[in-house]
Structure 1
Amino acid sequence: MPDRIRLLVRRLGVMMIHQPQRFSDAHFAPVLARFVQRQPLVHCMTNDVVQNVTANVLLALHASPAMVIDPDEATQFAAMADALLINVGTLTRDRRDAMLAAVQAANAAQKPWVLDPVAVGALRLRSEFCQQLLALRPAAVRGNASEILALAQQGAGGRGVDSQHQAEAALEAARELAQKHQTLVAISGEVDYVTDGHKTLSIAGGSALMTRVVGTGCALSAVVAAFCSLPGDRRDNVASACRIMTLAGERAAAQTAAPGSFATLFIDALWQLAQEARA
């Protein structure tokens, strides 16, 4: 075979490997059933704006949320919980120290933890801290496209918490991050993506109304942390976390076109999905 043809075949093979694969609801259903049965305890070190929403989302799914932030208590609790969420949305220096202590305790206890790099990029404190955290090997990173690009040092971040990029624009950066730090990276957008750097899953669905209420993205990160505590393929588990949120968004949006009622219906839809999984 001529070298030119051999090179073309190799390139086509790489493209096929990197082509995202559609995540099937057939994989999602058994993962959700295991989740509802396990009812994980999730230590949420998250931002002040979304604590109530995050707690309600986890409760609707039959998980148990806890918001422990004192450095000494956070260190103790991170080792007790099934999973830890680190969300830097309202980061302070004191909170940074507490989060770092909790991550170290979670690693020592071999408990998974998830990084949500909210608004990383333009602001120095959170940008430097998130780079420090990446070196401590999170089980997963969940962010929007602008956050993932900034985390990979390929962009300046979005406009506050809002992404300025489509999810597809961050796919290569996500793959590089996943490979470099041996983690999973989940990108949220009109289509969600989950990659380990080698295989990428796409998760369709959701509703534009999910961007018009506070906390759906941050709550997703807490759900991702909870699903990381499950046995089995962690990539499928994280994709399942994304899918349950998009599916709840679809169900809620089918009943309303306004954000206020959507927020309530979204929690109800999560509860109904969890109930169906128990049946």
Structure 2
Amino acid sequence: MTTAATDLPPPEPSRPVVLWRRFRRNRAALLGLFLFTLVVGMALTAGLIEPNDPLRRAGVPLTAPFANWDTPLGTDQLGRDILAMLFYGARISLLVGVVATLISIGIGIVIGALSGYFGGWVDDVLMRITEAFQTIPSFVLLLTLVAILGSKIEWIALAIGIVSWTAPARMVRAEFMALRNREFVDAARNLGVSNTAMIFKEIMPNAIPPIIVYASVVMALSILLESALAFLALGDPNYASWGNMIGQGRAVLRTAWYCAAIPGIAIVLTVLSFSLLGEGLNDALNPRQKK
């Protein structure tokens, strides 16, 4: 006598699988992921394009794109390989973006969490400090910090992070104010959980999704700010960056437009990739907010 197998429901997919399924429904987000992967690939393979120094002279100055296959994208007015500098510029953009984002989000989380959780005079003091930073235009403050700290790439990333923390702080504060009176917080408080554990173990995991989404915005903003500094000749001249390429290429814009146009296109596509990724992450992490 055979026994019929019991009908078991299929196992539920894990959370990462569910998030990926939501993410891939957004075709624009997939395009952003492709562009981001392309930029990361450029950064990782820069050493294969130019194993020595991307700032060295590689050919005749102002060689047009595709005129010489040793320098496929041409050379600038100093004879440097535009393709090599483009790949190394991806490293600088990602480095500045990641470091500045970590600094910005880190400061924003601490300030916003303390302000939103404790409220009262703590909230008043921290929000007045935040408002004081917001009264100064971000780029003006960035120029001041770079003038004080110097134009090394490390200081530039630090300065960008310092001028970008106010918006994440306000966002985290709003999330904490919405979550601090929820039932699971009251239950943890009744069990004697400390304030530190309450902030970082109970409330923070529930406030993470919008922070992750906003991090993509900060990444894009950081790349634009670094490029703007380099365009104004305030970047680090010891590194090949897209902003430096545009700033130097404007001197020959009428005769060799590609010197500025090629890195400009790279910046546009990179910033676009983070914007599309942020939209896709928002759809995946907050499906109810999708219009």
In terms of fraction of residues, the more helix-rich structure is: 2
**TM-score of the aligned structures, taking structure 1 as reference length:** 0.26
Q: Which has the higher contact order (CA 8 A, sep 6+)?
A: 2
In terms of fraction of residues, the more strand-rich structure is: 1
**TM-score of the aligned structures, taking structure 2 as reference length:** 0.26
